[in-house]
Amino acid sequence: MPKKEKIGSDGYSEEIYDAKRNELEELGIAYQPPSPERNSDEEWKSLNDEVSHEAKKIIATLDRLSANAKRLAEKDELHREYLGLVPRVEEAREEIKKTLAEVSDTASFGVVREAGEVLRMGDELEDVLQSESPVQPRSLVRMLIEEFLNAKKYVLGKLRKWLGLQHRYGDPLPPA
C-alpha cells in the first residue's frame, strides 16, 4: 500500500477495502474473504498460485482489512451485549439499597458494611459493562456477574434475616 493511503487506527478503512477489491476485479479475480472453505477450495488454491505478486499483495491487504473489520464488528456486538446487562445490575443494586434502607437502623454494622461492599461491587461491574474500551472477554464478565449475583443473594439473605427479626420482635431500638 502506498504511504499516502491511510488506514484508521482501528485497522480498517472501507474506502481502501473497496479500492483494493476493485483493483483485484480489474485483474479478473473475484475476492473471497478468508475462511476455512476458501482455504480448502482447490479452485482458489490454483488461482492463488497463478496470480501475480501484485495480486497476492492486494489479496493479503484485503484479508487483513477483512479480519480487522470482523474484529471491530465482534467488539461492537460484545459492547451492545454488555450494555444490555446494565439494567439487571441496576435492578439488583436497587433491591439491595431498598432492603438496606429498611433494616439499616437495626442491622449489625458488619451486615451493613457487607451490603455496602456488594453495592460497590455492582458499581464497578457497571463501569466494566459500560466502558468503551477495552471490552473485557465474555468469560471474565460472566464470572463477575455470577460473583455479584451470588454476593447479592448472600447479603439480601442476611439483610432479610434482620428484617424478619425486626418484624417478629419489633424494633429493638425504638426511635428516641
Cα–Cα dist 38/60, whole Å? 14
The three grid cell numbers given for residue 131, joined into one nine-digit string: 466502558
* Residue 86: Cβ within 10 Å count: 13
* Residue 93: Cβ within 10 Å count: 20
Model pLDDT, residue 168: 55
- The single-letter code of the amino acid at 120 is R
Domain-wise residue ranges, the chain? 14-71, 76-169
pLDDT tens for the chain, 176 residues: list them. Answer: 445 555 655 566 788 888 888 888 888 888 888 888 888 888 888 887 888 888 888 888 888 888 888 888 888 888 888 888 889 899 999 999 998 888 877 778 888 899 999 999 999 988 888 887 666 788 888 898 899 999 999 998 888 887 776 555 555 554 44
The answer to whether 50 touches 42, Cβ cutoff 8 Å, is no
Which phi and psi (to 5°) does residue 167 adopt?
Answer: -70, -35
The answer to whether 146 touches 159, Cβ cutoff 8 Å, is no
Model pLDDT, residue 106: 77
Model pLDDT, residue 101: 86
Cα–Cα dist 128/7, whole Å? 29
The three grid cell numbers given for residue 44, joined into one nine-digit string: 482458489
Model pLDDT, residue 8: 56
Model pLDDT, residue 1: 47
Model pLDDT, residue 151: 93
The three grid cell numbers given for residue 100, joined into one nine-digit string: 438496606
Model pLDDT, residue 93: 92
> Which residue intervals of the chain are DSSP H helices?
14-26, 36-40, 42-50, 53-103, 109-130, 138-169
Model pLDDT, residue 169: 52
